[in-house]
Structure 1
Amino acid sequence: MLTIAFFYLYEGVNQTNFSGKEQHFQVTVLPDSIRINGDQVQFYGKATCNQTKQTEKVIAFYRLKNEAEQLYWQRIDYPLKLVVIGELILPENNRNYGQFNYRQYLSQENCHWILQISTQKETQLQLKSLGSFSYRKKLFHIIDQKLPIKVASYLKALLFSERNDLSDDLVKNLKALGIVHLLSISGVHLQFLLNRVKYFLLRIGFTAETTGYFLIFIFPIYGYFAGWTVSVFRAIFMLLISLIAEKLMLRWSSLDSWSVVLIIAIWLNPSLIVTLGFQLSYLLSFVMILLSQNLFKKKQDSIIESVWISLVAMLVSIPILVCYFHEFSWISIVANIIVVPLVVHGLIPLLVILLMGLLTIGNTLLYTNFIKVVQFILMLFEWLIDAISFRSFYSIVTGVPFFYLLFVLFISLLVTFLAWESQKWKGTTSFILLCSFTLLSFQPILQPYGKVVVIDVGQGDALLIKQPFNKGNYLIDTGGAFHFKQEKWKQKIDPNHRIAEKILIPTLKAEGISNLDKVVITHSDTDHMGALLDLSKEIKIQELVFPKGGTAKKSFKEIVNQFVQKEIKVTEVLKGDVLFQTNNTYLKVLYPFEKGKGENNDSIVAYGKIGEFHWLFTGDLEKEGEEQLIAMYPTLKVDVLKVGHHGSNTSSHEPFLKQLEPKYGLISCGERNRFKHPRPEVLQRLTKYGVNIYRTDKSGAIYYQFDSKGETVGTHLFETMLK
């Protein structure tokens, strides 16, 4: 109760002291937090305002001026004190349903502001004392310099919880198999290391008592180098408490250790309790401790025990995973049985030997050849993971789960574990549990409402049309970011990859979508199709639709060719083609009239009835195209207009608006975009003709909901993420 009271007290004081108007700061950079992406550096630091002398934690961004400065930041392994001028920016809430909430995440880190540094006036270096020097980062520098990139990335991930350098594809494949936890140091890792260190020390002549004291001394040091992540903290302190209790001859159970470590962790950082890593780490270890008293103990065969442990871990983690990621992997039991032993008993010992060799024998011929062997084994491991992972096949997408389904699942799990433990009613409770998981898996087809969603993808277009009961899902454009030619050192991680992974895919999965019947690309500009390829790796696409002549642009043609190779249906459309049609909804192509070149005025213009309204989606159609459209359809009227070209002044001219008489205008554009869309002139014209305007840059994603009868659902016609 005291801990709970402290938690609420902490939440009350976890507030900012800055007003947001401060500009002059002294910032102490935390070296372990430095992340460099092209010409941008990001880090956490303690910022002290020169005027008010208030100090608090911030996350800072700074634009590097040259390659030499980039190299300088890469080598920093001690706290750095900067005198800077910058702007405080409030972190964003999620702008789409199901998207990562950056403001909430930073608040959990006791951080409330982004500091955008504009000028770095002065640099002072603190003394490299024992307390300030980052030996962890120094070790990483040595590893990066002495070992190949692949070997170094695995060594840092599996031994020190630093997984930033692992390839995205590997992490996604492990996630699809339900074994991404292998990249986090856990009790399994530490127990293995503990046993090996014990064995080694005893073999070289240490007594059992001396070995125990040595382990008590060495494990906190290892925890420092492993970054004291949630799972590392839990596992190491549970081991330390057990070792100390053993030395003091105390009757101390694993559950006692777990309980004490849990309370210590909450007191040190109460906000951890609402994080995924904390919940999974402590919940799984808690369940394993309880069941190990009898259920696991009765299973003598190691394979059977592995099956039971993997099954229990999967069942317990699913409710949490669907709350965070809106999906779970059904293959994780098999994957855990196959892959976990390979990692724990194969890769980790090799990497430990590799690290010891790096710190001792160095650049000898024997060690160099050993590195090559390890590199080859890692390549085989990645090949195996890639060969058995079919991301969309293994994942069951649930969408944001209904509360009552989670409640039923939780009760079913509890009753099932009790039945297994007591050896009573195992068949009945297992059947009930299976039914609960089946209901959760089929949740998307239980949703009676359809939606039209203007997804906020920044300066681009992406619009989802979802039919009731998941009977049809259609995506118009995918969003994307333009590439500008830069020097190699300035180049960042592909922004289109970020749009797909951080925005588009989570939004679709939150809606319970794992399959798109059609993806319609209105034209071949990057801001409309840039995220298409990354999207197709996670979400199954049945058919790709685009205007005839769209492949005139090389970048889009290459993507289309990849779709053809994957045997995905590819369709070119012109005026008169129907995109979809049901009893109450339809969408058909009004434009273009003839083959184009993928330019703005070759955009697909789609018209149809969805819910109670008639809609017109115009892509990036400009004035010349609009004139052709209203000339061809002189009686065309609409209720909802997706405003063309993100609100550019080249579109939405007066004759067009006058004829259509739209009641609502939806504009997809990026916040503070470089093109200054939507243009004031366009907003004035829309207002003149009585159009109610909704903008993603101001409101985030825009939602319209309807039922199977075609009637609008909800108290408001249009809901927005940012109120």
Structure 2
Amino acid sequence: MNPRLAVLSVLFALTGVWFSKMISVTGIVLMTFLVIVIFFQLKRKTFVVLMFLPLFFFYSQWYELKNISLFPPHTTDFQGTIETIPKVNGNMISFKYKSSGELLVVRYKMNSADEKQTLKKLEIGMHCFFNGTLKDPQPQSHYYGMNYREFLHNKNIHWILEPSQVDAGSCVTDKKESLISKIKIWRNKSIKQLEAHFTQNTAGLMNALVFGYRENIETKTLESYQKLGLTHLLAVSGFNVGIVSYFLYLLFVRIGIVKELAYVLIVIFLPIYIVLTGGESSIVRAGIMGMLALCLIVFQKKINPAVLLSIVCITMLSWNPLYAFDLGFQLSFLMTFVLITSISLFKAKSNTQLLIVTSFMCSLFSFPIILYHFFEFSLWSLPINIVYIPFVSLVLFPVSIFVVAVIHFIPSAVYLLKLPVQFLFESSASILEMVQKFNGTLLLGRPSSWFFLIYFLAILYVFFEWERKDRFYLRLCIPFIFILTLQVCIPYLNPSAKVSFINVGQGDSILIELPFRKAVYLIDTGGAIPFEKEEWEEADEEYDVTKKVVLPYLKGRGIRRLDGLILSHADMDHAGGTVFLLKNFPVDTLYLPKNKNLSELETEIIETGKQKGIQMKYLRKGMELSSGNSRFLVLHPSGKNTSANNRSVVLWVNLYNTSFLLTGDIEKEAEHEIINNFWRLKADVLKVAHHGSATSTTNEFLKLAEPEFAVISSGANNIYGHPAKEVITRLKEKKVTVYRTDENGDIIFEVVKSGLKIHSVQ
């Protein structure tokens, strides 16, 4: 088969799957480009390639029609098998559970320390009976966050099961275990043995390398791998398959097995290895390619590697077209394709040169995908990869396999290995954490679909010219650097202003980007309201909405520093993430409400600001901030000693011809004060005070402001009952269009000279 024909067939198959989910202008342009290329390159065979697009388009549509739940929403009784290792975090336990042939995610909130200890005995393969309710997975509510519902849907999971009670006594080990179940149980046992003998981080890294299980790696270490572009080393992939196959081959040959039979035995083992390592898309790809390659050797057949890769890709898409939206699938196939089609660039290269070239190629080709998902790219990625690829592949991975073997065959010898192995893994993690502290991150934000396309065109140009001239010249990267520079500059050429109401649950966080990005202000950071917990209830890492939502939003927008961080007041749900943000993101000026009696949180914020050398200003009624045609007027506080909520900073913001009234958590007393002092106040958009509490948003205040739109920032199903029904009624009576973060997710008001455009996630 013609390699060009095979690769283009895959591209059209992927385009068909993509179009089944969404049709975009960028996609149509890409398809047109591919059609033109095919017509001139293949001519008579054009039809053969083109048919893959409608074929996979309609196949994906048919697959989606089948990808539905068999359970009615009111189902309450379930019996099935635990399919994944139960994860215990604080007072929550979760795992995947197969019932009636369908996968569910089970989540259960434990009620006591004794119950937690009992449920830790739950293991993969156990047969359990549950009574509970089915809940829809949470839909996407953040522009720059994961779509959890879509993530589960792509894995054929449609419900979250919340049992009313989980009784470990009702879960029994299935005596009629299948081979796959036995492999999974052995994997679970091995993972727990490593965790029992080594520190959390050492065991977590070894489990990732050997079994593809990354759940218990310490957060700092995992973040270091992610930020330095090394997460691919923690994913079991082709290199792992190669090493394991090589050692098995040496073993079989050494014990006298002929090499043809050794190949057959390795082919038989590889499916077991796929299950043993978690069955992610990257290992499935590597395993299938390994099996096909060995079969070709046995039957003395040759096939172009690009054709082999294309066959595997088409096979996996035929099994599940939703693989196309899996990040591991995308990176695994892209990197493999890049390497096997660039063999000519590896000729006459030393091992060191090969490592540098392959690291550079993989870093450059993965750049647009990494940028799309993580918004930034570490400049340390290339040098660190050059060092860590051989270190992890040739040292940490073999050591991990050796330790697993010792645990199973000579368990008493593990204690001799404990200290040197832990030193090796902990030291490697510490070095990464240290390197990460040196700022080498290129923060660009999420590229649009157009930028995503032209990045790849520029990268293809680099490698086409490199291969054609048989030598790399720095000038080949000029188009790529130009596009990168263009992405950096575009926000500063955009005349529109944007006001984003970020969905931080029960809290506030508002991002204001002035026209031409002359300045960027963040009003409040969100933050979790602390509740007293017993020691057993404390999670390994508490959810931090500023870290998980606000910071990714800033990075996703391509914002590299804040001109101002304005705190309306020092309640946890408004300012709880301030210390974290000050430590992890550049801020020029911190604006605080004038307050004589500082809370513990305010004191900590001020101390952190001083340590970071951040300028601090205190806001009070009548102060004004201006930049070009944009104006910020402080309406409150007045300096009176009132409640914490009524000391909130209230801002009137004017952008072009549109005005916003941002009210913090003020209540009716402060509203009346504003009415008396600013009796001509009007606003197009009102940020409803105190998350829609009944103590705010009086009829008099609405009559004064006369907003056309209102935004309520509140958490879904919050314990306070926000927003209050009477507030919603008042807004409807005034014919105000209401947007809510608990229903609409992130909300963006885009302000231009001619008017206002409103976007929301939902």
When normalised by structure 1's length, the TM-score is 0.90
Aligned position for 2:300: 249
Aligned position for 1:107: 153
Q: 1:489–1:407: structure 2 CA closer, same or farther, 3 Å change rule?
A: same
**Correspondence 1:340 to 2:404:** no
- The answer to whether the 8 A contact 1:216-1:243 is kept is yes
Q: How far, CA to CA, are the matches of 1:386 and 1:426 in structure 2?
A: 33
Q: How far, CA to CA, are the matches of 1:598 and 1:252 in structure 2?
A: 76
Q: How far, CA to CA, are the matches of 1:374 and 1:619 in structure 2?
A: 53
Alignment map for 1:463-474 (pairs within 5 Å) = 463-474=510-521
Q: 1:336–1:212: structure 2 CA closer, same or farther, 3 Å change rule?
A: same
Alignment map for 1:118-157 (pairs within 5 Å) = 118-119=164-165, 123-131=170-178, 132-133=181-182, 134-157=185-208
Matched AA of 2:426: M
Please state whether the residue corresponding to 1:552 is helix, strand or coil: coil
Equivalent residue for 1:324, pick from 373, 378, 385: 373
- The answer to whether the 8 A contact 1:550-1:556 is kept is no
* Residue deviations 1:509-547 (CA, integer Å, cap 9, x gap): 332223222221211111112233444565433333222
Equivalent residue for 1:312, pick from 349, 357, 361: 361
- The answer to whether the 8 A contact 2:495-2:516 is kept is yes
Alignment map for 1:136-535 (pairs within 5 Å) = 136-199=187-250, 208-209=259-260, 211-292=262-343, 294-298=344-348, 300-364=349-413, 367-390=414-437, 393-423=439-469, 427=473, 429-497=476-544, 499-535=545-581
Question: Deviation of residue 67 (structure 1)?
Answer: 2.6
* Residue deviations 1:636-677 (CA, integer Å, cap 9, x gap): 333322111101122223333333333332211111111110
**Correspondence 1:593 to 2:638:** yes
Matched AA of 1:277: G
Q: Pairwise CA RMSD of aligned residues?
A: 2.8
Alignment map for 1:506-585 (pairs within 5 Å) = 506-536=552-582, 539-549=585-595, 552-578=598-624, 580-585=625-630
* Residue deviations 1:268-325 (CA, integer Å, cap 9, x gap): 3221111111111111101111112x11124x22222222111111121122223333
Q: 1:601–1:128: structure 2 CA closer, same or farther, 3 Å change rule?
A: farther
Which deviates more from structure 2 when the two are superposed, residues 280-289 or residues 551-560?
551-560
Matched AA of 1:622: E
Question: Deviation of residue 163 (structure 1)?
Answer: 0.8
Q: 1:448–1:558: structure 2 CA closer, same or farther, 3 Å change rule?
A: same
Aligned position for 1:37: 89
Q: How far, CA to CA, are the matches of 2:483 and 2:682 in structure 1?
A: 48
Aligned position for 1:698: 743
Please state whether the residue corresponding to 1:652 is helix, strand or coil: coil
Matched AA of 1:9: W
Q: How far, CA to CA, are the matches of 1:537 and 1:339 in structure 2?
A: 28
Equivalent residue for 1:670, pick from 715, 736, 743: 715
- The answer to whether the 8 A contact 2:712-2:741 is kept is yes
Q: How far, CA to CA, are the matches of 1:558 and 1:660 in structure 2?
A: 36
Q: How far, CA to CA, are the matches of 1:236 and 1:183 in structure 2?
A: 17
Q: 1:223–1:19: structure 2 CA closer, same or farther, 3 Å change rule?
A: closer
- The answer to whether the 8 A contact 1:550-1:597 is kept is no
- The answer to whether the 8 A contact 1:620-1:645 is kept is yes
Q: How far, CA to CA, are the matches of 1:645 and 1:32 in structure 2?
A: 42
Equivalent residue for 1:96, pick from 136, 142, 148: 142
Please state whether the residue corresponding to 1:88 is helix, strand or coil: strand
Q: How far, CA to CA, are the matches of 1:154 and 1:597 in structure 2?
A: 53
Alignment map for 1:595-610 (pairs within 5 Å) = 599-610=644-655
Which deviates more from structure 2 when the two are superposed, residues 224-233 or residues 550-559?
550-559
Please state whether the residue corresponding to 1:115 is helix, strand or coil: strand
Which deviates more from structure 2 when the two are superposed, residues 476-485 or residues 443-452?
443-452
Alignment map for 1:48-127 (pairs within 5 Å) = 48=100, 56-119=102-165, 123-127=170-174
- The answer to whether the 8 A contact 1:481-1:495 is kept is no
Equivalent residue for 2:731, pick from 686, 694, 700: 686
Matched AA of 1:655: E
Q: 1:154–1:435: structure 2 CA closer, same or farther, 3 Å change rule?
A: same
Question: Deviation of residue 476 (structure 1)?
Answer: 0.7
Matched AA of 2:684: D
Question: Deviation of residue 171 (structure 1)?
Answer: 1.9
Question: Deviation of residue 232 (structure 1)?
Answer: 1.4
Please state whether the residue corresponding to 2:621 is helix, strand or coil: coil
Please state whether the residue corresponding to 1:295 is helix, strand or coil: helix
Matched AA of 1:513: I
* Residue deviations 1:32-67 (CA, integer Å, cap 9, x gap): 15322222222222345xxxxxx6332232222333
Q: How far, CA to CA, are the matches of 2:485 and 2:703 in structure 1?
A: 52
- The answer to whether the 8 A contact 1:89-1:113 is kept is yes
Please state whether the residue corresponding to 2:111 is helix, strand or coil: coil
Q: 1:534–1:74: structure 2 CA closer, same or farther, 3 Å change rule?
A: farther
Please state whether the residue corresponding to 1:76 is helix, strand or coil: coil
Contiguous gaps of at least 5 residues in structure 2: 1-51
Aligned position for 1:52: none
Question: Deviation of residue 162 (structure 1)?
Answer: 0.8
Question: Deviation of residue 18 (structure 1)?
Answer: 4.1
Aligned position for 1:16: 69
Q: How far, CA to CA, are the matches of 1:358 and 1:596 in structure 2?
A: 66
Question: Deviation of residue 495 (structure 1)?
Answer: 4.5
- The answer to whether the 8 A contact 2:190-2:404 is kept is no
Q: How far, CA to CA, are the matches of 2:251 and 2:440 in structure 1?
A: 41
Please state whether the residue corresponding to 1:236 is helix, strand or coil: helix
Matched AA of 1:304: Q
- The answer to whether the 8 A contact 1:330-1:395 is kept is yes
- The answer to whether the 8 A contact 1:77-1:138 is kept is no
Please state whether the residue corresponding to 1:546 is helix, strand or coil: strand
Q: 1:305–1:577: structure 2 CA closer, same or farther, 3 Å change rule?
A: farther
- The answer to whether the 8 A contact 2:281-2:329 is kept is yes
Alignment: residue pair count: 703
**Correspondence 1:721 to 2:721:** no
Q: 1:66–1:662: structure 2 CA closer, same or farther, 3 Å change rule?
A: same
- The answer to whether the 8 A contact 1:28-1:79 is kept is no
Percent of paired sites with the same residue: 29
Contiguous gaps of at least 5 residues in structure 1: 49-54
Which deviates more from structure 2 when the two are superposed, residues 618-627 or residues 451-460?
618-627
When normalised by structure 2's length, the TM-score is 0.85
Q: 1:397–1:249: structure 2 CA closer, same or farther, 3 Å change rule?
A: same
Q: 1:598–1:212: structure 2 CA closer, same or farther, 3 Å change rule?
A: farther
Q: How far, CA to CA, are the matches of 2:198 and 2:227 in structure 1?
A: 29
Which deviates more from structure 2 when the two are superposed, residues 250-259 or residues 100-109?
250-259
Aligned position for 2:47: none
- The answer to whether the 8 A contact 1:696-1:702 is kept is yes
Question: Deviation of residue 425 (structure 1)?
Answer: 9.5
Q: How far, CA to CA, are the matches of 1:465 and 1:683 in structure 2?
A: 25
- The answer to whether the 8 A contact 2:76-2:134 is kept is no
- The answer to whether the 8 A contact 1:31-1:76 is kept is no
Q: 1:251–1:57: structure 2 CA closer, same or farther, 3 Å change rule?
A: same
